[in-house]
Amino acid sequence: MACHQRSASLPSIPHSTESKVEVELQGLQTRISSPSATIDTMCDGLRRLGDIYNCIEEIMSLASNQVGLSLPQNKKMVEEELERSLVVIDLCNSMQENSAHLKMSTQELQLVLKRGDDVAVQIKVESFIRLAKQAQKHFKKITSSKATAEDCNLVRLLAEAREMSVSLLESTSYLLPKQFTTTKGSKWSLVPKRKVVCEEEQLQALERSMGNLENGAEFLFRRLIQSRVSLLNILSS
C-alpha cells in the first residue's frame, strides 16, 4: 500500500510485514471488545501489544525507512505522533502504578479475611473498588486522533498501535471495579447485609491477575519508550 503523494518519498513497508501488524491489531481489537473479556484477557493484550511494537521497531530499523521518515514531508507527521505517544506512555505508567496498589490491596484483604473480621473485609473491598475506579479518571479527557489516508504506512501503523493501546488500557480500567460485583454466580458478591462473600483462593487469583496486569503494563511501557527513542534518534540523525 503506497503512501499518499505528500509522503511518497518514504519507501513502502513490505506488504507481509504490514499485513502481520494489521492482523495482530485486528485480532487484539476483537479480543478486548468481547463481552467475555477479563482482566487476564487484558494482561495478554498488553503483552501482545508489546510484541506488535517490537515488530514496528524492526520496520523502523530499516535504513531506507529511517531516511524516509526524516524527510521534510514526513518529519511533521512523525513529530505529531511523538507528541501523541506521550499521552499513552503516561496512561501506561498510571496503569502500572494502579495495578501495584491493587495487588497490595488484595494482599491486605487476605490478611483481614484470615482474621475473620467481616467489617474490615468490607472496608477493604470498598477501598479496592474505590482505587480501581480511580484508574478511569485518566481517560475522561482523552481525545481520539486516528490515522488518516494521508499518513504514510509506518506512521499509520504507529497511530493504530497507539489507538489500540488507549482502547486496551481504558477497557482495563472499566473492568477493574467489576472484580467485586453483586451479580449472581460471580466470584465476589456483596450480600444484603453488606457482608462480603469471598474465598481465599479467589483472592489469591485476583492478586496474581493484578500482578500480571502490573507486569503487562510495565512491558508495554518499556516498548513505548523504546519506540519513542527510536523515532527521536531517526529525526536527530
Give per-residue pLDDT as tens, 46-63. Answer: 999 999 999 999 888 888
- Give me 6's grid cell: 505528500
d(CA 186, CA 179): 9
Q: Compute the Cα dihedral for 148, 226, 164, 142 and give only its sign.
A: negative
Q: Which spans in 36-71 are helix H?
A: 39-60, 63-69
Encode 114-144: b = buried (16+ Cβ within 10 Å), e = exposed.
Answer: eeeeeeebbebbeebbebbebbeebbeeeee
C-beta neighbour count of 38 within 10 angstroms: 13
Place of cell 492478586: 207
Cα Dmax for the chain: 69
DSSP 66-132: HHHHTSHHHHHHHHHHHHHHHHHHHHHHHHHHHHHHHHHHHHHHHHHHHHT-HHHHHHHHHHHHHHH
Percent of the chain whose predicted confidence (pLDDT) is above 70: 81
d(CA 162, CA 87): 9
3 state DSSP class of 6: helix
- Give me 48's grid cell: 501482545
pTM of the model: 0.82
Predicted confidence (pLDDT) at residue 214 exceeds the cutoff of 70: yes
**Residues with Cβ within 8 Å of residue 140, at least 6 apart in sequence:** none
Choose the weakest-confidence range: 25-34, 45-54, 122-131.
122-131
Q: Write the DSSP symbol of residue 178.
A: G
Predicted confidence (pLDDT) at residue 184 exceeds the cutoff of 80: no
Choose the weakest-confidence range: 20-24, 211-215, 218-222.
20-24
According to DSSP, the residues that pair with 197 across neighbouring strands are 189
Give backbone dihedrals phi and psi of 196, rounded to 5 degrees, phi first. Answer: -85, 130
The arithmetic mean of pLDDT across residues 67-75, rounded, is 82
Q: What is the pLDDT of residues 130-164, one digit of tens each?
A: 888 888 887 776 666 665 545 678 888 999 999 99
